[in-house]
Amino acid sequence: MNPSTALATVVVDELVRLGVREAVLCPGSRSAAFAYALQEADRVGRLRLHVRVDERSAAFLALGLAKLTRVPAAVFTTSGTAVANLHPAVLEASHAAVPLIIISADRPAELQGTGANQTTDQSHIFGAAVVLFHQLGAPERRDGQNAVWRSAVGRLYAAAVGARGPDAGPVHLNVPLREPLVPDLGPGGWPESLQGRSGGAPWVSVSSANLQVVGLGCVPRTLIVLGDLPDPAMASEVSELARASGWPLIAEPFGAHDASLQVPHGPLLLTADQWLSGHLPDRVLVVGRITLSRPVGDLLRNPSVRVEVVAAQSNWPDPSHVATVVYPFEVVRASIPDGLQVDQDWARGWAEAGRLLSKAARMVIESSWPSGLGIAAAVLAELPSQSSLFVGSSNSVRDVDLAMSSSARSAPLTVLASRGLAGIDGCVSTAVGLALAQPQQAAYALMGDLTFLHDSNGLLMGPREPHPDLTIVVANDDGGGIFTLLEPGEPRRARDFERVFGTPTGVSILDICRGHAVRHTLASTQAELRAVLRQRPDGLGVVEVRIDRAGHRDLHAELRAAASQSLQT
């Protein structure tokens, strides 16, 4: 089987699994793989195929097929002007909220912009008229693509029917294909299974709130994983779900939620492979976007674990293409159903493991000063009740994630970060904005030196402008400390590290603060840092703590070793 045939077979199969029963085909060379797959599906009675030589008429035929049934009809075309001829029907479907799925074959990237025949830029060709546009990469002979293709089709179908709201409408999938475009005549295999979910189920089911509350409670060994949510208050609702259900909860630090309801050091706990193998959940219920932990990502990709997603937005998070069900956030707010199943012994095992790990990790973190983890622990311990903490990207947010579970803190704290794209851009200005928006709340920020320097212009405020009451703690390791924890920081790569990853700057943060008339404090000891943090912010101030990034990698290795050792019985 060649790549074009493999992709077309999977796309058509997944459409049928989702409920598509009508397909319209416009003959063409680049779309030949879809023609064969559609004809086979029609031959065995899985869908009804309609062939039209005029793309404009074909699209309006599909619109008519879907208008009353409200079941999306699919239109398949070749590349070039064939796609443009669908535009009138796409516009009508857009304004009439008719579910329509456009699948256009395209030339691969190496032919774009070369003058190749029937080749134009088909990306976003319908502009704002489609509810969702998606472009796949050209298929290749390798494994790991089946889930990607099926997941993409599921997202498009959900958008077309308005399952993730607010409106139904047309969607567009553009598919670059390389030759050969027709099936192989001889025998041939494929590097991975191209099968979908068992029982003919779609790869991912997108469900409405009124159908799902009962189904939510049917897996006794369910682990909740909480990530970043648009509204910090939503995190407390997830904590309440954990309390009411009895399911273990591991959480990233963002939002306002009850730390006592969480398994301490959840991501660290997931690195204890031997313990995890005996306490693996049957299902992981992911709420929000998971942006910090590789061990959490590894858990979600474990084929023995069923992954279900609770999404706060229409574009649900599933970068590994493993989700089987997508729930709206309303299920979190619904009453826990009667007959909820919880494996109590299993859940207690998670709680006890968290307790043991927290004790071991606290000892490592408390003895690590000066370090990013030590700074984060001091910040979390000293901030007053009902305060907010904005955390910069890279190491600072991960240090807070690790230190929060070991903190003796009991006072409420709201943790915020820019996790939409998780860049270091504009973090100083964002923290200033948060402080100005809620002047009644004590406001703090924690970030690394590169994050601070990247937006040092955020300190620039004219004398007539509103000024925030904000304390910014800068963990200054003179460069890109995050890379010491990633592959470039491996000791065997040390020769190439410092200039292109470590990127030391040697910049004086004191002088930057002086130039902006901003108060600067150098905290050389943990006691000095804690003393500054005990003072409620009054105006804009920067607290600098200097650390050595050379110890980051060993410290994290020590934490993982402590986690594993604490759980050995």
The helix (run of H) or strand (run of E) holding residue 416 is strand 413-417
pLDDT at 208: 60
**254-264 exposure pattern, b = at least 16 Cβ within 10 A, e = fewer:** bbbbbbebbbb
- Fill in the DSSP letter of residue 501: I
> Do residues 451 and 421 lie in contact, with contact meaning Cβ atoms separated by under 8 Å?
no
Strand 100-106 and strand 132-135: the pairing is unpaired
Residue at token pair 């063409």: 28
Q: Which helix (H) or strand (E) holds 12?
A: helix 3-18
State residue 210's pLDDT score. Answer: 44
Nearest to 331 by CA among 467, 190, 210: 210
Lateral strand order in the sheet of 100-106: 48-51, 22-25, 73-77, 100-106, 170-176, 132-135
Average pLDDT of the residues in 432-451: 95
30: nearest Cα among 106, 83, 85: 106
251 in Cβ contact with 263 (< 8 Å): no
How is 378-396 classified by DSSP, letter by letter? HHHHHSPTTEEEEE-TTHH
Predicted confidence (pLDDT) per residue in 34-47, tens digit: 999 999 999 999 99
Report whether pLDDT(452) > 60.
Answer: yes
Residues near 182 by Cβ (< 8 Å), separated by ≥ 6? 5, 32, 33, 36
DSSP state of 72: P
Torsion from C-alpha of 392, 353, 309, 307, nearest 10 degrees: 130
**How confident is residue 406, by pLDDT bands cut at 50, 70 and 90?**
low
The fraction of the chain above a pLDDT of 90, given in percent, is: 79
> Which pLDDT does position 408 carry in this prediction?
53
pLDDT digits (tens, 9 = 90+) for 317-344: 999 999 999 998 888 887 666 667 889 9
Domains in the chain (CATH in brackets) are 3-189 (3.40.50.970), 206-355 (3.40.50.1220), 367-565 (3.40.50.970)
Nearest to 290 by CA among 258, 323, 241, 264: 323
Taken in order 256, 401, 549, 484, the sign of the CA dihedral is negative
| Distance of alpha carbon 125 from alpha carbon 319, whole angstroms | 25
Q: List, for residues 268-323, the tens digit of each pLDDT value.
A: 999 999 999 999 999 999 999 999 989 999 999 999 999 999 998 888 999 999 99
Task: Give me the residues paired with residue 48 across strands.
Answer: 22
CA distance 98 to 124: 19
Q: How wide is the angle at C-alpha 206 spanned by C-alphas 297 and 20, nearest 5°?
A: 120
Q: What is the mean pLDDT of the chain?
A: 92
pLDDT tens figures, 159-215: 999 886 668 999 999 999 999 999 998 877 899 999 999 999 999 998 765 434 445
What does the H/E/C string look like for 175-216? EECCCCCCCCCCCCCCCCCCCCCHHHCCCCEECCHHHHHHHH
The encoded tokens of residue 470 equal: 């904000």
In DSSP terms, which residues pair with 78 in a beta bridge? none
The pLDDT of 69-85, averaged and rounded, is 95
Report d(CA 383, CA 412) in Å as an integer.
10
- Centre a 10 Å sphere on the Cβ of residue 562 and count the other Cβ atoms it contains: 21
Nearest to 58 by CA among 85, 21, 95: 85
The contacts of residue 463 (CB under 8 Å, 6+ apart) are none
pLDDT for the residue 330: 86
pLDDT of residue 296: 95
Q: Tell me which residue has tokens 């774009």.
A: 112
pLDDT given at position 118: 86
Is-contact 555 371, C-beta < 8 A? yes
Say if strands 73-77 and 48-51 run parallel, antiparallel, or are unpaired. unpaired
Angle at which helix 3-18 crosses helix 146-161, to 10 degrees, equals 40
Token pair 């290749």 in the structure block, residue = 140
pLDDT band at 409 (very low <50, low <70, confident <90, very high): low
List the structure tokens of 460. Answer: 């620039």
β-pairing, 443-448 vs 387-391, is parallel
Q: How far is the CA of 196 from the CAs of 146, 147, 203, 322, 361, in angstroms?
A: 8, 8, 6, 12, 42
Range of weakest confidence among 69-78, 327-336, 451-460, 521-530: 327-336
Asked which of 47-56, 188-197, 403-412 is least confident by mean pLDDT, the reply is: 403-412
Average pLDDT over residues 89-93: 94
**pLDDT given at position 337:** 63
Q: 202 CB contacts (<8 Å, ≥6 apart)?
A: 14, 17, 18, 150, 154, 157, 196
